[in-house]
Amino acid sequence: MRISSKAALAAGLAIVAAGAAAQGGTGWHGIGQAVAPANAATVTIAGHGEPRDREIMFCVEGHAMRLNQAMLHFQGGGTQSMRINERLADGGCSVGKTLSGHNHAVESAEVTYDQAILAGGTVHVQLFVR
């Protein structure tokens, strides 16, 4: 199957629009995303954070989802456990959560979720920082 350049451009613009909606001129910017498997209860998201980041926000695209907890891994070896405990609508984001410690460069996040809500759907879980 051949994809036209118009279809590829439209897909690219949709991804950019989702990120722009989350940022909304508030300084939030995306650092990673991953597809949450419907048959699991955890997704690992690779991140590319910076030491100057102070807050993190979790967003979902593709289906409503309940996020429970996250274990953040920072560059240099630190970790932070974080309770999310929010049901997010498709296209929704959690409240901003404060990053602890001195180095806030998020390297990855292991996020737990309620897989029953997915009902076989596909969801992208996204990380945003500011």
Q: What is the CATH number of the domain that holds 94?
A: 2.60.120
Those residues with Cβ within 8 angstroms of residue 69's Cβ, 6 or more apart along the chain or in another chain: 81, 82, 83, 84, 85, 111, 112
Q: How confident is the model at residue 78 (pLDDT cuts 50, 70, 90)?
A: very high
Give the global pTM.
0.80
How many Cβ atoms sit within 10 Å of the Cβ of residue 76? 11
Each residue of 44-71: pLDDT tens digit? Answer: 999 999 999 999 999 999 999 999 999 9
Q: How confident is the model at residue 121 (pLDDT cuts 50, 70, 90)?
A: confident
Q: How far does Cα 113 stand from its chain's mean position?
A: 12
3-state secondary structure of 16: helix
How many Cβ atoms sit within 10 Å of the Cβ of residue 86? 15
21-30, 69-78, 117-126: least confidently modelled range: 21-30
- From CA 85, how far away is CA 122, in angstroms rounded? 20
Q: CB of 28 within 8 A of CB of 128?
A: yes
Q: How many folded domains does the chain comprise? A: 1
Cite the beta strand spans of the chain per DSSP E: 29-36, 42-46, 55-61, 65-74, 79-88, 97-98, 106-113, 123-129
Q: CB of 47 within 8 A of CB of 126?
A: no
**Which structural domain, as residue segments, surrounds residue 109?**
5-129
